[in-house]
Chain A
C-alpha cells in the first residue's frame, strides 16, 4: 500500500509540475502582457501608457494564431501587435501636446478602450495555447499511462499465476 501511495504522489507531483511548467512557458508571458496593458489602461498620462504598452508588446509573440480550431482574426498575434504599434504611435504623438487639453484626454480615453479590447482578445487566446495539440497529447499520455501500466501488471500476474499452476 505504501509503495502505491508513493507512486501516486510522484505521479500527481509530476503531473502538477508539468502543468505548471507549461503554464509558465506558454501562458504566463501573456498574463504579464495583459497585466501591463491593464496598467496602461489606468495610467495617468501618455508617457506612462507608452512605457507599460511597450513592455506588453515585447511579451506578445510576433506571429501566429494560437486558436487551432476555427481561428479568426481576433486572436492573430501579428494583428494584435500591429494594433499595439498604432496605439504606441498615437500615444507618442499625443505625449508631445499639452496635457490640459480636450484632445489629449479624448485620445487617452479612446486608447484605453482599445487596450481593453486587446486584453479581452489575449484572454480569448489563452485556453487554446494551454490546450494546444501537443499539450493535449501529453495530457492524454499522462492519464492513460497508469491504466496501461495497471493492465500490463495484471496481465503479467495472471501469466505468472497460470504458469505457477501448470508447474504445480
Chain B
C-alpha cells in the first residue's frame, strides 16, 4: 500500500477505533442507570433561606409566566428571596418591572436587578445575583421553565449531608407535541436524564448541573470559585465543585417542565453552545481531573462526558473521508467496519426504544416516528456541532447567544410575528456546502458500486439536508397554515410515488438484464463443456444489446457495451474453433477465455449503476425526493 492510501486508511481506522469508546461508555451508563435509586431525604425542621435566581435576556414572551410560577412556590415567604437579573435590551425589562412591582405589593421579597453591561453573559448575571442575595441555598430557573409549586420542598430535603452541593431535577417538556422537531428534542433530553444523569449518579461519576431547575448550596458555589464566564457555565461550575469534593444529586422524581425551542436555527444555536461549552470545560479541567485522586472509571467517564461532542466531529470526518477511504477499505475485506460509523447513533436510538417511558405511553408508530426524527436531527446537527468543537479547540471567542423561546405550550402559541424569530445563522451555508459534498460523494459511491458505504453517506446527506430544509421552511411564509395543510400531503405522496417509479423501472428493465448477462458469464467460467460455454456467452451477448456506453460521466472504453459484445463474439469464436483432441490447446484456450470473461464481468459490474440510474432518472428521483421532503418538512415544522 502506498503512502497516501496508508495515511487515509490509518486515519479512517483510527477514528473507527476511537468511536466505540463513546459507545462503550454509553452502554455502561445505560447498565448503571438501572441501578438508580432515589437517595434518602429528610425534611428539615426549620426550612432554610432560599434565593431564587432568574437570569433574563430578552424573554418578553415568558417573563410574566416565570415570575408568576416562582411566586407560586410553596415555601415560607420570609425564607424566600427572588432575584431577577435582567440584561434585556427590549420590552422584557418593562414587563419585568411591572410584574416585580405587583409582586412586591403582594408582599414577596423580590428584586429586579439591571446590570450596566452583559459582561460574562449568563455566568455574569448569576454571579451578580449571587453577590446581591443572601439565601443559604440558591435555586436557578431559566425563563422558559415553570417550576412546580412544591419544587423547593421536594428538593431541599436531599441536602442531608454537608457534602451535597447541588440537587438537580429532571426537565419536563411543555411543547413536546408541537412538531416532530420538539418531539425529537424531548426524546433526546429524556435520554440524557434517563441514561446519562441516572447512570452517572448511580455509579458515583461526575455529573452536571443542567443550567436550570437545580438548587445549589451557596457555600458550594463560593468554595468552587463562583460563576465563571463560559458558554457552559453550568458544566464549568459542576466540574469545579466536584473536583473540590462536592457531590451532585440527580432527582428523577422531581420534574420541572420547560419549553423546547421550535425553530431549527434556535436548536442549532443551542446545540452549538452546548458542544462548545463542553469542549471549553474539557480544556479547562481535564488535566486537573487526570491529576485528581478520583478512580480511573470516574476519570474515563468524565473524559467521555466532556468530549462527547468529539464523537460527532470524528463521525463527520469519517463521512467526509468515505469517497477516498471506501476504495481502500473494500479490498481489505473490512467493509463491515463501516458499520461502526453508524453504530453510535443507532445505539442511541435503540436505547431510546428500550428505555424511554414514553414508549409505553404513546402508540408505537408515533414513538417510532419520534425516534426516526431524533436520528435524523442528531445526525443532521453533526456539522454544526463539529464546528463548535473545532472553534472551542481553537479557543475562538464566542458570544453567549440565548435560545429564543416564544411561550408555547402544547400546540398553542405563535412565533412567526415575534422579533425573536429573526435569527442569523451563517453556519447554515457550511451545512449546505457539506451536504453538497456528501451528496456528490454518495453519487460517486453509488456509481463505483460501493453500496455499503453509500448507505452511511446517503443517510448523512439526508440528515444534514433535513436540517437545512427545516431552517429554510421556517422562514416567513405567505401561505396560510390551512392552505399548506390541505395541499401538501397529496403533493408529497405523488412526488414520492414518481421517485419510486423512476428507480424501479430501470432497475428491472436494465440493471437486472445486465445481472443476468453477468450470471451467464460466470456459468461459462465455471463450466468445462465447450458447448455450454458457447451457449452462455451467446446468451450474455444477446442480453447486452442495450445500446452503447451507459456511463454518462467521463466514459471510457471499459464500459462500452458495443465493444464488450464484440469481445464476447470473438471469445465465442475461439471456443468454437478449438477441438478437444489436443488437450493442452483445449485447456489453454479455455483458461484464456475464462480470464477474459472475468474481466468482462468486472466491466459489467462497473457499468451496472450507470445503466440503472441515467441522468434523467437521477434528476427525476432527486428532484421528486427533495420536493417531497421540503413539502413534508414545511407541513410538519413550519
- Please give the residue numbers on chain A whose beta carbons come within 8 Å of chain B beta carbons, in ascending order: 4, 8, 12, 23-24, 28, 31-32, 34-36, 38-39, 41-45, 48, 52, 55, 67, 69-70, 72, 74-75, 99-102, 105-106, 108-109, 112-113, 116, 124, 127-128, 131
Q: Is A32's CB under 8 angstroms from B557's CB?
A: yes
- Give the residues in chain B near A34, CB-CB below 8 Å: 556, 558
In this complex, the member of B560, B574, B600 whose beta carbon has the largest number of chain A beta carbons within 10 angstroms is B574
Q: Is A69's CB under 8 angstroms from B3's CB?
A: yes
- Give the residues in chain A near B433, CB-CB below 8 Å: 8, 12
Q: Which 4 A-B pairs have the closest CB atoms?
A: A44-B570, A35-B556, A35-B558, A105-B588
Q: Is B3's CB under 8 angstroms from A100's CB?
A: no
Interface string of B184-215 (1 = CB under 8 A from A): 00000000000000000000000000000000
In this complex, the member of B5, B569, B592, B602 whose beta carbon has the largest number of chain A beta carbons within 10 angstroms is B592
- Please give the residue numbers on chain B whose beta carbons come within 8 Å of chain A beta carbons, in ascending order: 2-5, 324, 429, 432-433, 436, 554, 556-560, 563-564, 566-567, 569-571, 573-574, 577-579, 582, 584-585, 587-589, 591-592, 595-597, 599-600, 602-603
CA distance A55 to B436 in the complex (A): 36
CA distance A43 to B600 in the complex (A): 9
Partner of B556, one of A32, A42, A48: A32
Partner of A38, one of B571, B577, B584, B599: B599
Q: Is B585's CB under 8 angstroms from A42's CB?
A: no
- Give the residues in chain A near B3, CB-CB below 8 Å: 67, 69-70
Partner of A43, one of B429, B570, B584, B585: B570
- Give the residues in chain A near B595, CB-CB below 8 Å: 41, 109, 112-113
* A34-B558, A44-B574 known; A39 vs B567 contact (CB < 8 Å): yes
* A12-B436, A44-B573, A52-B557 known; A38 vs B603 contact (CB < 8 Å): yes
Beyond A42-B564, A100-B579, 14 additional pairs, beta carbon < 8 A:
A12-B436, A34-B556, A36-B558, A38-B556, A42-B599, A43-B596, A67-B3, A69-B3, A75-B2, A100-B589, A101-B585, A106-B588, A109-B592, A112-B596
- Give the residues in chain B near A99, CB-CB below 8 Å: 574, 577
11 contacts between A and B (CB under 8 A): A8-B429, A32-B556, A34-B558, A38-B557, A38-B558, A42-B564, A44-B573, A105-B585, A106-B588, A124-B2, A127-B4
Partner of A44, one of B554, B571, B579, B602: B571
Shortest C-beta distance, B231 to chain A (Å), equals 20
CA distance A108 to B429 in the complex (A): 55
Partner of A39, one of B429, B557, B573: B557
- Give the residues in chain A near B588, CB-CB below 8 Å: 102, 105-106, 109
- Give the residues in chain A near B591, CB-CB below 8 Å: 105, 109
Chain A, residue nearest B556 (CB): A35
Q: Is A105's CB under 8 angstroms from B592's CB?
A: yes
Chain A, residue nearest B573 (CB): A44
Shortest C-beta distance, A28 to chain B (Å), equals 6
In this complex, the member of A23, A108, A112, A113 whose beta carbon has the largest number of chain B beta carbons within 10 angstroms is A108
Q: Is A112's CB under 8 angstroms from B599's CB?
A: yes
- Give the residues in chain A near B582, CB-CB below 8 Å: 102
Q: Is A42's CB under 8 angstroms from B603's CB?
A: yes
